[in-house]
Structure 1
Amino acid sequence: MAVQDRKRNYALNTCIQHYQETGKSLKLASYKGMLPQLKKEYPWLKEDCYSSVLQCVAINLDRAYKNFFEGRAKFPNFKSKHHKQSIQYPQSVTVNGECLKVPKIGEIKAIFHREITGKIKTVTISKTSSNKYFASILCETELSGVKESGDQVIGIDLGLKEFAIVHDGDSATKYANPKHLNRHHKNLARKQKKLSRKTQGSSAREKFRKIIAKVHEKIANSRQDFLHKLSRKLVNESQVIVVENLNVKGMVKNRKLSKAISDVGWGKFVNFIDYKLKQKNGELVEIDRFFPSSKTCSSCGYILDELSLDIREWDCPNCHAHHDRDENAALNIRNEGIRILTEGGGNPVFADGGCVRPDNRKVKGHRSVNSLILHRPD
């Protein structure tokens, strides 16, 4: 992993210097052209690293620059040899029984969480801050058809007190916020206090750093487990899901709510819903973040001038309907999503809540990701 990081840092530094001197960026061919000369200067590159791995470094760095210039990511950073590390193998990795065979390394005993099916395309091995090793295997498979599941259109209002309020047009269901970070707050604070007392660079400090990394890992795993299970449940029950396009980056600037917003994982939840819907040919609809979902009466369409956050229930001045703030918002989000689909050339049956499941068809070239845990010798 360190070899790949050094190659990336060398290429990134060369690109920065070239831009300062000429005002132009290096092309992908330039990155790849560095390899023959580097292997002559540093013979250990041939011995310690598989050739295609170094090619991946050039491809990934070129992609990072494109993402930066197109506004999808920040400027590429130099890789550190500490904390999380990863290495990517684009070919020649095979599964042999309970082992993963990797070029230059050999067979590694692994725990597979599911059967590896299809053609292995790419394998990414990563090391976490708690010194655990994982391998993510990208496989290309053929699907015989789309799984049978629900055909509802649902609207989701995301919040902090209640993680999600889901409305299917007839009734609303509330899912509580697990508050993963809050449950480990005291334990984490106690361990971090002990860490601060350790001498910089000492083995005792490194030991406590790993202990704290394991706590953060446990929090992240429990959050991801909750988001995966809830997103899977909602996707299985529906065909179209409507959510608000929230400005999470802007919301976390609120110093009073930043920790709670970061912990809840709205962005990751929407991403999980999106890719799971695509697997079954469903559709995710994101409505404008400025749509007044909470202030609009779902019965008559009347819009309030103001509605403070402390008001959880209100009565419509026009039709006198009584509303729960969150349930009303979820229903309005659903109705707005239906309107967007209908006016945008979608099938009008959406408005009637009819069946929106597409016909089953064979999907070729489907890519699935399998992950496994690698045994690390003590």
Structure 2
Amino acid sequence: MKSRYQYRIYPTPGQRQSLAQLFGCVRVVWNDALFLCKQSDKLPNTSELQKICITQAKKTNAREWLEQVSVVPLQQSVIDLGVAFKNFFQSRSGKRKGRKIKPPRFKRKTNRQSARFTQRGFRVKGSKVYLAKIGEIKTHWSRPLPSEPSSVTVIKDCAGRYFLSFVVEVEPEIKPPQNPSIGIDLGIKTFASCSNREKVNSPDYSRLYRKLKRCQRRLAKRERGSKRRERMRVKVAKLNAQIRDKRKDFLHKLSTKVVNDNQVIALEDLNVSGMLKNRKLSRAISQAGWYEFRSLCEGKANKHNRDFRVISRWEPTSQVCSDCGYRWGKIDLSVRSILCINCGAEHDRDDNASVNIDPSTSLRVNTERSRGVEKVGVGHTHDSKRTGSACKTSDEAVCGEPSTHQESRQSFLDWLTGKESPSL
């Protein structure tokens, strides 16, 4: 199984200049190849694009500086563009699962920069990494590499930090789980309410967001193109990087703990894009990272041979009692504690939903429903498939009342045959 190992690097001022030149060449080759793809009626293949945008472009006066950098990341840039177009077309046709992917876009100088080297363009020498035409770069090894890397990507983020991302082959160590299954209900203030009655609070980003808000106001007042604006832009990028790193660290630790301790992990399919339209909760929802947590759990579950499940977003997890299966219907979000009128159990809203998401609990409740346990509250129980006003059970109905349907039908037939005159 392939995995990525990322490390922080600290290049010298000369190496930073060489990396800036490399990033610029990779960006120009990508943009030139993308421009040719958009102008042509038929998408050119990778070899044609490499010949036009690299080999022939080096012979011109406008692109002769492409020879000053290694050719390996330039070729990989064109290959990555072909993979991006392939993923886009497969996403449109339905062959690629997941959300729809947008077509490739032109790269900008102020965005995140990257360049990828294959094995013929780099070597690992002890505590340093040698890159072609860059030199040996000092690397902070936070953990050892599990195997020989097949490729490495040099990254410079918007905050000016440099990283090396290695692609290596790993053999995951599969440990026996402690629990058979777990259901997780995601929230804002309480990030995760687990079916084992454990609650995980979200990290506090308030101090960082106050600083970010103040710096963004100052950035808006700076003159475009000035050095003061550039310094403030880097400061805003560093604050955004701190928030992103804090969220990523929290989500990685929580997802690793959940996957290691449980054999079956169940989450709810949340409509995050629809929830972001709520202008009062959009920032809190976006900073929570629900979809990123789901992606991490799914990837780590496949890596450690766990069963990852996602239930439908239309399942009424907050409307059904986790003890007896009685359904009480929709309840306002401000109501956090619920008292079941059928069995008398008092539930926390999030804990009740997490227990209903848990596959083992859902199986038990469905078994009890099949045995007729939910019919205890006759007169208040709704049909599980139809909850309209016409489907409510009336309290006035009497089970022992004789039906008049057959008598009315016989009287109607007698009137049609002339045996009896209709009663007015």
Q: Report the TM-score range of the alignment, normalised by the length of the smaller protein.
A: 0.7 to 0.9
Evaluate the alpha carbon distance shift between residue 246 and residue 277 of structure 1 in structure 2; reply closer, same or farther with a 3 A threshold: same
By how many angstroms is 1:36 displaced? 2.6
Q: 1:126 aligns with which of 152, 155, 177?
A: 155
Query: Is 2:184 aligned against 1:156?
Result: yes
SS at match of 1:136: strand
AA aligned to 1:174 is K
Tell me how far apart the structure 2 counterparts of residues 337 and 102 of structure 1 sit (CA, whole Å): 54
Evaluate the alpha carbon distance shift between residue 104 and residue 337 of structure 1 in structure 2; reply closer, same or farther with a 3 A threshold: farther
The corresponding residue for 1:165 is: 193
By how many angstroms is 1:56 displaced? 1.6
Tell me how far apart the structure 2 counterparts of residues 187 and 242 of structure 1 sit (CA, whole Å): 37
The corresponding residue for 1:305 is: 329
The answer on whether the counterparts of 1:120 and 1:140 sit within 8 Å (CA) in structure 2 is: yes
Tell me how far apart the structure 1 counterparts of residues 146 and 203 of structure 2 sit (CA, whole Å): 34
Q: 1:199 aligns with which of 211, 217, 223?
A: 223
Larger Rg: 2
The corresponding residue for 1:327 is: 351
SS at match of 1:217: helix
The corresponding residue for 1:2 is: 24
Percent of residue pairs identical? 38
Query: Is 2:138 aligned against 1:113?
Result: no
SS at match of 1:194: helix
Number of corresponding residues:
331
Evaluate the alpha carbon distance shift between residue 228 and residue 112 of structure 1 in structure 2; reply closer, same or farther with a 3 A threshold: same
Larger fraction in strand = 1
Tell me how far apart the structure 2 counterparts of residues 79 and 175 of structure 1 sit (CA, whole Å): 39
By how many angstroms is 1:142 displaced? 4.4
AA aligned to 1:38 is A
Tell me how far apart the structure 2 counterparts of residues 103 and 149 of structure 1 sit (CA, whole Å): 45
Tell me how far apart the structure 1 counterparts of residues 157 and 103 of structure 2 sit (CA, whole Å): 23
The answer on whether the counterparts of 1:119 and 1:141 sit within 8 Å (CA) in structure 2 is: no
Gaps of 5+ in 2: 1-22, 93-99, 367-424
The answer on whether the counterparts of 1:285 and 1:337 sit within 8 Å (CA) in structure 2 is: no
The corresponding residue for 2:201 is: 176
Evaluate the alpha carbon distance shift between residue 338 and residue 294 of structure 1 in structure 2; reply closer, same or farther with a 3 A threshold: closer
Gaps of 5+ in 1: 343-378
Alignment of 1:170-319 (within 5 A): 171-180=196-205, 182-319=206-343
By how many angstroms is 1:232 displaced? 1.5
By how many angstroms is 1:338 displaced? 6.4
Tell me how far apart the structure 2 counterparts of residues 30 and 248 of structure 1 sit (CA, whole Å): 41
The answer on whether the counterparts of 2:355 and 2:361 sit within 8 Å (CA) in structure 1 is: no
The corresponding residue for 1:27 is: 45
The answer on whether the counterparts of 2:181 and 2:360 sit within 8 Å (CA) in structure 1 is: no
The answer on whether the counterparts of 2:186 and 2:290 sit within 8 Å (CA) in structure 1 is: yes
Tell me how far apart the structure 1 counterparts of residues 274 and 116 of structure 2 sit (CA, whole Å): 33
By how many angstroms is 1:29 displaced? 4.1
The answer on whether the counterparts of 2:182 and 2:359 sit within 8 Å (CA) in structure 1 is: no
By how many angstroms is 1:148 displaced? 4.2
The corresponding residue for 1:54 is: 74
The answer on whether the counterparts of 2:276 and 2:285 sit within 8 Å (CA) in structure 1 is: yes
Evaluate the alpha carbon distance shift between residue 187 and residue 61 of structure 1 in structure 2; reply closer, same or farther with a 3 A threshold: same
By how many angstroms is 1:192 displaced? 1.9
Evaluate the alpha carbon distance shift between residue 301 and residue 338 of structure 1 in structure 2; reply closer, same or farther with a 3 A threshold: closer
AA aligned to 1:157 is D
Give the TM-score, by structure 1 length.
0.82
The answer on whether the counterparts of 1:32 and 1:58 sit within 8 Å (CA) in structure 2 is: yes
By how many angstroms is 1:55 displaced? 2.3
Evaluate the alpha carbon distance shift between residue 65 and residue 223 of structure 1 in structure 2; reply closer, same or farther with a 3 A threshold: same
SS at match of 1:120: coil
By how many angstroms is 1:149 displaced? 4.2
The answer on whether the counterparts of 1:94 and 1:120 sit within 8 Å (CA) in structure 2 is: no
The corresponding residue for 1:139 is: 168
SS at match of 2:184: strand
The answer on whether the counterparts of 2:263 and 2:306 sit within 8 Å (CA) in structure 1 is: yes
The answer on whether the counterparts of 2:184 and 2:266 sit within 8 Å (CA) in structure 1 is: yes
Alpha-carbon RMSD across the aligned residues, in angstroms, is 2.2
By how many angstroms is 1:211 displaced? 1.3
Tell me how far apart the structure 2 counterparts of residues 123 and 148 of structure 1 sit (CA, whole Å): 33
The answer on whether the counterparts of 1:152 and 1:240 sit within 8 Å (CA) in structure 2 is: yes
Give the TM-score, by structure 2 length.
0.73
The answer on whether the counterparts of 1:286 and 1:337 sit within 8 Å (CA) in structure 2 is: no
Tell me how far apart the structure 2 counterparts of residues 240 and 281 of structure 1 sit (CA, whole Å): 10
The corresponding residue for 2:86 is: 66
Tell me how far apart the structure 1 counterparts of residues 295 and 118 of structure 2 sit (CA, whole Å): 25
